[in-house]
């Protein structure tokens, strides 16, 4: 009896960002929100030189924290 060391079928990984809570919408006319969203779009674009999924995740957290600052109203999609 021989042991197989390879899987019979490829492993199917899920997209960890696909199940995250809804992305916050940028606050209208907020330069910081607009800059964070723009940087995140670039980090998510595989054709961009800025492509970096870890950075995209960090930018999402930064946007959420920015919107949670005292006195700011948070909006969700």
Helix axes 31-44, 53-67, angle to 10 degrees: 160
What pTM value is reported for the model?
0.63
What pLDDT is stored for residue 47 in this prediction?
A: 94
What pLDDT is stored for residue 43 in this prediction?
A: 94
Q: Which residue has the higher pLDDT, 67 or 46?
A: 46
Poorest-confidence range of 41-45, 46-50, 71-75? 71-75
What pLDDT is stored for residue 77 in this prediction?
A: 44
38, pLDDT greater than 90: yes
């Amino acid at each position: 009896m021989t042991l197989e060391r390879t899987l019979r079928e490829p492993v199917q990984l899920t997209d960890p960002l696909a199940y995250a809570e809804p992305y916050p919408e940028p606050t209208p006319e907020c330069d910081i929100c607009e800059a964070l969203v723009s940087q995140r779009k670039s980090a998510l674009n595989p054709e961009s030189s800025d492509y970096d999924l870890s950075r995209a995740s960090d930018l999402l957290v930064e946007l959420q924290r920015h919107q949670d600052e005292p006195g700011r109203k948070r909006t969700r999609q």
